[in-house]
């Protein structure tokens, strides 16, 4: 039986509501009917400064009038400046600018495999984790541990044995002569905001050092201030060999980055590239976003709003008998318990003018703008309390 003909030409890849969004400002979205929504999704943690931040508008406008894309065959001053600032902020040495988190993670996989060929007798396996998420390209999906993805576009790319988060013995059991790296998200976002413990991250760093393996951190969602430090690994006092960034790095524009220590950076000319990679239009936005977020005052503000939000969510846990709160900074999950259907709660919240995300059946994920106000946090908590009461 044929599906009904859609009233638009967009490919049907998601269950979208009928509302058509036309503008945004800070923590608020507005649809074509003039309805406003308090946005605690922000494009899945993409809009780190909220909607239509003036610094992003200015960076786009000024750079578009100057130079958009000279091609990656040439240096451009904006990408040179931005890469230098990223390297200095991260403690890593070299930066490849690209467009999406999946693209950055593909680059990390390629880099690790080439490093294994050069330095580990052809070792190519990368230990990843059950319930992890690294993107929607074939190799990134193969590296992911999301249930059901192993059969979605089978056969998968081989070489990604899966360990269990926060279980060091499960990682050690998978290390063999073909192992070249360990790759993980410091907080598994799609799994419902499941954090790797600080102790586990430190133990992984020590294990990789002892076994001459690369440590790859996918900070596509946790990076650029989302967890209250510029990068999540800074909370553990470690530095990865390879780091991937996206989402918040562009504040809403398509921008990502692959960073590496010099000792792990082994691409030759022609190994890695991309038509839009490092274009000055996107780099200008990233440079503006980093300049705002990478300050002690801004990051302190993220931690302050996080503390307020956690306190308010824990009050809801006590009031309604929910399971609990987890996460860090402004990447938080509210575990509801089986009494509540998270997907239904998301629908009712949208009707009430609040945008939430449900990564699991009984779990809400909260990803507001990093500059969300105290008043907006209280407003969100009030709406959520009313929905839970109903």
Catalytic residues: 133, 218, 247
CA 165, CA 203: separation in Å to the nearest integer? Answer: 12
On whether the CB atoms of residues 265 and 338 are closer than 8 A, the answer is no
**Number of residues written out for the chain:** 390
Residue 68 token pair:
């958009």
CA nearest to 107, candidates 216, 195, 10, 239: 216
β-bridge pairing 125-129 and 179-184: parallel
């Amino acid at each position: 039986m044929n599906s009904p003909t859609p009233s638009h030409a967009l490919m049907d890849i998601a269950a979208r509501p009928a509302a058509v969004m036309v503008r945004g400002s800070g923590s608020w979205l507005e649809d074509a009917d003039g309805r406003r929504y308090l946005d605690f999704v922000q494009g899945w943690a993409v809009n780190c400064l909220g909607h239509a931040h003036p610094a992003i508008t200015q960076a786009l406008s000024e750079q578009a009038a100057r130079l958009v894309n000279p091609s990656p065959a040439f240096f451009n001053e904006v990408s040179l400046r931005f890469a230098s600032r990223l390297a200095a902020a991260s403690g890593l040495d070299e930066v490849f600018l690209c467009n999406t988190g999946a693209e950055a993670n593909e680059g990390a996989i390629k880099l690790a495999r080439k490093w294994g060929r050069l330095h580990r007798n052809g070792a190519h396996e990368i230990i990843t984790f059950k319930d992890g998420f690294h993107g929607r390209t074939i190799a990134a999906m193969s590296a992911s541990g999301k249930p059901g993805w192993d059969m979605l576009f089978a056969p998968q790319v081989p070489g990604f044995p899966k360990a269990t988060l926060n279980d060091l013995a499960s990682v050690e059991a998978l290390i063999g002569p073909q192992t070249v790296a360990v790759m993980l998200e410091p907080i598994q976002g799609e799994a419902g905001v499941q954090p790797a413990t600080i102790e586990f991250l430190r133990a992984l760093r020590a294990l990789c050092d002892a076994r001459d393996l690369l440590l790859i951190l996918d900070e596509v969602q946790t990076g650029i201030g989302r967890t209250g430090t510029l990068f999540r690994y800074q909370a553990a006092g470690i530095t990865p060999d390879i780091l991937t960034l996206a989402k918040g790095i562009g504040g809403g524009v398509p921008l990502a980055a692959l960073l590496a220590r010099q000792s792990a950076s082994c691409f030759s000319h022609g190994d890695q590239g991309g038509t839009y990679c490092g274009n000055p239009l996107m780099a200008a936005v990233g440079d503006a976003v980093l300049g705002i977020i990478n300050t002690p005052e801004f990051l302190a503000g993220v931690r302050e709003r996080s503390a307020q939000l956690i306190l308010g969510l824990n009050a809801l846990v006590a009031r309604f008998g929910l399971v609990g709160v987890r996460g860090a900074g402004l990447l938080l999950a509210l575990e509801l318990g089986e009494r509540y259907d998270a997907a239904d709660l998301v629908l009712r919240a949208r009707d009430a003018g609040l945008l939430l995300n449900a990564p699991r059946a009984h779990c809400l994920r909260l990803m507001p703008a990093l500059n969300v106000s105290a008043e907006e946090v209280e407003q969100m908590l009030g709406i959520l309390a009313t929905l839970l009461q109903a």
